[in-house]
């Protein structure tokens, strides 16, 4: 009876021992490789108790993987960037579970910045920008590296960086990483950025005439330019080679004012404009103006010798108003012109030629007449014009005479007509001088 009871006790004890016999806890897991989207874990096997047939991976208290008995590593690819996780490993033998392994805490790396691009540049700076990572929380900061050296950081809410103090016309390599604490993302894709060439310096006018201006400048720092672009009044007028440091702008209007800037060209990359240079061309003399067109002329008789009949006797102080047309033989500058006008209702044409600042010329025309015994006698007068420009200015970008004054002298020789005796008519010699002036 005693022996039977002992057998029962031993059986119960053995069953209880078997029921509580579980695998030992796996060795502490470690994170071997962590990226923004994956965590690699490794652990030691259970070393006592019943043999395991599975290892169960738990993340933040929830099972995420069941692995074979011989597997002691696993990669979790269902994680978010820049996020914290806690992992434990449990050994399983049938329905039995080991105690959890020691816990390992892991933070995934921030996701790397995307779409790195150059947003702007000057001769000494480059502005780069990027897109924030699409997954995971914003990083604490971004770290910018140029040519392999960290050059700056910006907060995680900012996605641009201005790199200053660079060489003009330089080429630079940039990468950006996202960082939270000591965790840093993989570097972004590389961006090659360039700075603009430096603008020319010392822009100056070395020679200015009435119709041309020569501008000069000094070569800027940085690489040898391939060319320079000259702008007048914000319009490109010429590109010269990179070894040429001056340009003569011709065909300009006298006394006109222009603004010049020069750009440096480096293989198609242009600098900002140089400081502006304002140039005013020289003012030509009054006499060098172009005389042309239609003029309202005021005339006044200043002297009469003898009797001059102009539809009535002309008297000193008599005034007239006419319109004279000047047909110039050139398009610019002083040159001969044919003056077509009316004097006392009689048309005339006189070719006047400039010399020493005065236009002079004469012609013969029937203007005056006298009444003789045998009727009216037409007189072949000589008209002499002497005109002096008194003011010139720009008219439609041509340096033109805008006012002039002078004299018109009308002379008549002794003239006779008809038969001899009392029927013979004659006109005595006489002359008339009138001042003339016009402004437009």
pLDDT in tens, 382-419: 999 999 999 999 998 899 999 999 999 988 887 665 55
How high is the pLDDT of residue 423?
Answer: 46
3-state SS, residue 95 = coil
How high is the pLDDT of residue 312?
Answer: 58
Annotation: CATH topology of 201-280: Immunoglobulin-like (2.60.40)
Residue linked to tokens 């003009």 = 168
190 class by beta-carbon count within 10 Å (0-12 exposed, 13-18 middle, 19+ buried)? exposed
pLDDT in tens, 362-389: 998 876 666 555 566 666 789 999 999 9
CA 229, CA 238: separation in Å to the nearest integer?
Answer: 6
Low-confidence ranges of the chain (pLDDT < 50): 8-18, 420-423
- Assess whether the region 37-44+51-108 and the region 114-194 belong to the same CATH fold: yes
Q: Are 108 and 79 in contact (CB under 8 A)?
A: yes
How high is the pLDDT of residue 425?
Answer: 57
Class (C level, CATH) for 114-194:
mainly beta
Q: Are 162 and 127 in contact (CB under 8 A)?
A: yes
- CA-closest candidate to residue 408, choices 382, 379, 371: 382
The CB density around residue 253, as the number of other CB atoms within 10 Å, is 17
Q: Are 144 and 129 in contact (CB under 8 A)?
A: no
Q: Looking at domain 37-44+51-108, which CATH architecture does it have?
A: Sandwich (2.60)
- Structural domain spans, the chain: 37-44+51-108, 114-194, 201-280, 287-439
Radius of gyration of the chain (CA): 53
Put simply, whether the predicted model's pTM sits higher than 0.95 gets the answer no
Please, which residues have CB within 8 angstroms of residue 7's CB and are 6 or more apart in sequence? none
The alpha carbon of 238 is separated from its chain's Cα centroid by a whole number of angstroms, namely: 16
CA 200, CA 326: separation in Å to the nearest integer?
Answer: 48
Q: Are 333 and 342 in contact (CB under 8 A)?
A: no
How high is the pLDDT of residue 37?
Answer: 93
How high is the pLDDT of residue 159?
Answer: 98
């Amino acid at each position: 009876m005693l022996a039977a009871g002992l057998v029962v006790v031993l059986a119960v004890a053995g069953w209880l021992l078997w029921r509580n016999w579980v695998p030992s806890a796996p060795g502490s897991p470690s994170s071997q490789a962590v990226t923004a989207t994956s965590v690699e874990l490794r652990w030691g096997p259970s070393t006592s108790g019943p043999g395991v047939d599975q290892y169960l991976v738990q993340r933040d208290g929830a099972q995420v993987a069941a692995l074979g008995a011989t597997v002691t590593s696993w990669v979790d690819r269902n994680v978010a960037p820049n996020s914290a996780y806690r992992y434990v490993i449990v050994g399983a033998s049938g329905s039995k579970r080991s105690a959890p392994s020691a816990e390992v805490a892991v933070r995934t790396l921030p996701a790397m910045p995307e779409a790195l691009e150059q947003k702007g540049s000057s001769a000494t700076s480059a502005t780069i920008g990027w897109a924030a990572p699409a997954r995971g929380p914003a990083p604490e900061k971004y770290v910018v590296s140029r040519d392999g050296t960290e050059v700056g950081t910006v907060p995680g809410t900012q996605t641009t960086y201005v790199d200053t103090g660079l060489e003009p016309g330089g080429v630079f390599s940039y990468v950006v990483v996202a960082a939270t604490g000591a965790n840093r993302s993989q570097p972004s894709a590389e961006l090659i950025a360039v700075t603009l060439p430096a603008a020319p310096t010392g822009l100056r006018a070395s020679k200015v005439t009435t119709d041309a201006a020569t501008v000069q400048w000094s070569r800027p720092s940085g690489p040898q330019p391939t060319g320079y672009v000259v702008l007048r009044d914000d319009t490109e007028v010429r590109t010269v080679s990179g070894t040429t440091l001056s340009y003569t702008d011709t065909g300009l209007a006298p006394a006109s004012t222009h603004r010049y800037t020069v750009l440096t060209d480096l293989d198609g990359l242009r600098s900002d404009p140089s400081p502006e240079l304002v140039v005013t061309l020289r003012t030509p003399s009054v006499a060098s103006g172009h005389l042309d067109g239609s003029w309202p002329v005021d005339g006044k008789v200043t002297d009469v010798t003898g009797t001059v009949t102009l539809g009535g006797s002309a008297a000193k102080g008599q005034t007239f108003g006419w319109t004279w047309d000047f047909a110039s033989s050139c398009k610019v500058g002083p040159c001969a012109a044919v003056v077509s006008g009316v004097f006392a209702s009689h048309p005339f044409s006189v070719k006047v030629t400039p010399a020493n600042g005065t236009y002079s010329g004469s012609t013969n025309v029937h203007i005056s007449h006298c009444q003789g015994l045998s009727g009216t006698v037409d007189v072949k007068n000589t008209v002499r014009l002497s005109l002096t420009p008194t003011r010139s200015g720009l008219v439609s970008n041509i340096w033109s005479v805008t006012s002039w004054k002078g004299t018109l002298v009308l002379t008549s020789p002794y003239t006779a007509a008809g038969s001899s005796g009392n029927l013979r008519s004659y006109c005595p010699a006489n002359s008339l001088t009138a001042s003339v002036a016009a402004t437009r």
